[in-house]
Amino acid sequence: MTATSPPAESAARQMSYAEALVLGLRRALESDDRVRLMGQYFVGLTEHRQLVADLRDDFPQRVWYPPISEIGYVGAGIGAAISGLRPIVDIATASFIFQAFSQVVNEAANVRYMTGGQTSVPAIFHVNHGIRGGGAAQHSHSPQAMIWNTPGLQIMLPSTPRDVYGLLRTALESEDPVFWADHVKLFDVTGPVMAQDWEAIPFGVADIKRAGVDVTIVATSYMVQRSLAAAELMAADGVSVEVIDPRTLVPLDLDAILASVHRTGRLVVVDECHRSCGVGSEISALVAEYAFDALKCPIRRVTALDVPIPFSPALEAFVEPSEAKICAAVRAAMGSV
């Protein structure tokens, strides 16, 4: 496939992540009468916003723009799911989830368990996460690590147009709540999507985004893209990097990660969460425990630094996990054999 190839029957089409995402939402609305969109910032304030506006024009009764009442409308999404709808609730910028945290982690996550399995909450909670450029401390969060410490929610972190499209279908068909985070910088990423069909990508199946033999990188969301770019640079240096994208943290395909580490003996975890108690911490800890003997060198973590995200572009660039930092970690892993 090339970017210029025209759309064809049952052929992959090149499209942006934002288009694939909104196409997924459209398929959801078309395929299931119970689906409602609650929110309007699925692709943030990017130039792709019009795509969501178009959806609302096409489904005026099923796309709702709630007030700035996160605790109110997120809770309403839970109740709606309990009572038979399939709400896809957009919390917009991930930092705002803290306004609704009690509903997401205390209510949605617990309902099935607390009721001994009687009641389901088939709701999807969507956020735009990550360091976006000038978002500063209150618009740059990646809350997935905190959510991961909260049993009861499934966590979906797509990294490509194809994945967001396919994972959304699985999320929609799940009887349990899903936390779905898109990185703001993914919206412009393009890639092939089998747009004619809407094939589900199962949860808990990691995807080897690039095969390699020297070092394993585990990354999620936009960090997959960064890692692929870094892997490309490393290939020029003769280092063969494998990039594994778990795609969902709950359920987690630990076997795929362990298998790759057994092949390469080296692991770099790339994660845009803060370092302390981040997603990278858990993945490192799991591999350190279950692949202890396979490791030829210490596991390295490339994460956002442990500071609130600063506003200034100069500081922001320093905080985030960059290609250069990933390459440095890979080199260090190779050098320490």
Binding mask 151-190 for other proteins (x = CB under 8 A): xx-x-------------------xxx--------------
Task: Match 């496939």 to its residue by tokens.
Answer: 1
Least distance between other proteins and beta carbon 134 (Å): 2
307 touching other proteins, by CB under 8 A? yes
Q: Check: CB of residue 223 under 8 Å from CB of residue 271.
A: yes
Cis-peptide, bond into residue 246, ω within 30° of zero: no
310 touching other proteins, by CB under 8 A? yes
Least distance between other proteins and beta carbon 75 (Å): 2
Residue in 48, 129, 139, 183 annotated catalytic: 139
99 touching other proteins, by CB under 8 A? yes
Local structure of 272: helix, strand or coil: strand
- Whole-number Å distance between alpha carbons of 121 and 177: 6
Tokens of 230: 């870094």
Nearest C-alpha neighbor of 243 from the set 326, 325, 305, 125: 326
Q: Which stretch binds other proteins (CB under 8 A): 186-194, 219-227, 291-299, 320-328?
A: 291-299
Of the pair 2, 149, the CB lying nearest other proteins is at 149
Which 8-state DSSP code applies to residue 160?
A: S
Nearest C-alpha neighbor of 181 from the set 273, 73, 63, 113: 273
329 touching other proteins, by CB under 8 A? no
Least distance between other proteins and beta carbon 13 (Å): 28
Helix (H) or strand (E) holding 68, with range, is none
256 touching other proteins, by CB under 8 A? no
Least distance between other proteins and beta carbon 191 (Å): 26
Tokens of 328: 């440095």
- Whole-number Å distance between alpha carbons of 210 and 52: 32
134 touching other proteins, by CB under 8 A? yes
12 backbone dihedrals φ, ψ, rounded to 5°: -70, 145
79 touching other proteins, by CB under 8 A? yes
Catalytic site includes residue 274: no
Q: Which stretch binds other proteins (CB under 8 A): 19-27, 99-107, 163-171, 188-196?
A: 99-107
Which of 120, 190, 240, 322 contacts other proteins by CB under 8 A? 120
Least distance between other proteins and beta carbon 15 (Å): 23
102 touching other proteins, by CB under 8 A? yes
Which of 59, 200, 240, 282 contacts other proteins by CB under 8 A? 282
Of the pair 78, 201, the CB lying nearest other proteins is at 78
Which of 27, 139, 162, 169 contacts other proteins by CB under 8 A? 139
Which of 37, 81, 219, 243 contacts other proteins by CB under 8 A? 81
Which 8-state DSSP code applies to residue 163?
A: H
Which 8-state DSSP code applies to residue 138?
A: G
- Whole-number Å distance between alpha carbons of 33 and 49: 24
145 touching other proteins, by CB under 8 A? yes
Cβ atoms within 10 Å of 38's Cβ, excluding its own: 24
Q: Check: CB of residue 155 under 8 Å from CB of residue 108.
A: no
Cβ atoms within 10 Å of 58's Cβ, excluding its own: 12
Q: Looking at the annotation, which residues are catalytic?
A: 139
